[in-house]
Amino acid sequence: MRIVDLDPSDEAARRRCAELLVAGFREMSPGHWGEVSDGLEEIEECLDLGPVKVAIDDGTIAGWVGVRPSYAKVWELHPLVVDPALHRRGIGRALVDDICAVAASHGALTVTLGTDDEPGWTSLAGLDLYPDPIAQLAKIEDVRGHPFVFYLKCGFSVTGVTPDANGFGKPDIHMSKRVSGP
């Protein structure tokens, strides 16, 4: 497996990335990238805003990740997806490590991201997080393989929450990782 830049002129590669978004987020965020055309729009935006890296496995794109500037010294990872048939083989971690190094090479101190809990895969699901969302967040637990655990394993820390981001009791969990020294 190797990680390379997505060639913006490679239409087939862009389509494969769009298909991965649709397949990869079907359970996690149903409706977010419902059609390949939605995925193609996302890739267009990612290529406009920052670097996009793809993991090539056996000659095929197995996953991809984008990153973009967000604050002066903070870049946002968005999105990340691995072919559902190839999960738990280290591809996601390799993409995260690569894109964090890319952000650091552009001067980022931190890479941040949001990981939604739309399907109810964490203990925050269905809760009214007010009046103290941080207290609720401090008790977060995985219920059904939510990717925040994957990001913890990649060295990210839970740094915040947006209550009701996707409807009542469907929060967005914020995570960050230091990628270069102060």
Ligand X SMILES: CC(C)(COP(=O)(O)OP(=O)(O)OC[C@H]1O[C@@H](n2cnc3c(N)ncnc32)[C@H](O)[C@@H]1OP(=O)(O)O)[C@@H](O)C(=O)NCCC(=O)NCCS
Query: In whole angstroms, how close is the CB of 127 to ligand X at the nearest point?
Result: 20
137 binds ligand X (CB under 6 A): no
Query: In whole angstroms, how close is the CB of 182 to ligand X at the nearest point?
Result: 26
Kind of pairing between the strands at 52-57 and 2-5: antiparallel
66 binds ligand X (CB under 6 A): no
Q: Which of 50, 51, 147, 171 binds ligand X (CB under 6 A)?
A: 147
87 binds ligand X (CB under 6 A): yes
Backbone angles phi, psi at 49, to 5 degrees: -95, -15
What percent of the chain is helix, strand and coil (3-state, nearest 5)?
Answer: 30, 30, 40
Closest to 63 (Cα-Cα) out of 9, 121, 118, 2: 2
Structure token pair of residue 139: 């008790």
144 binds ligand X (CB under 6 A): no
As a whole number of angstroms, the distance between CA 157 and CA 112 comes to 9
Closer residue to ligand X, CB minimum distance, 95 or 108: 95
Q: Which of 18, 82, 103, 111 binds ligand X (CB under 6 A)?
A: 82
Query: In whole angstroms, how close is the CB of 123 to ligand X at the nearest point?
Result: 14
As a whole number of angstroms, the distance between CA 124 and CA 70 comes to 26
How many residues interact with ligand X (rule CB under 6 A)? 19
Instruction: Provide the binding-site residues for ligand X, judged by CB under 6 A.
Output: 24-25, 28, 80-82, 87-93, 115, 145, 147, 149-150, 153
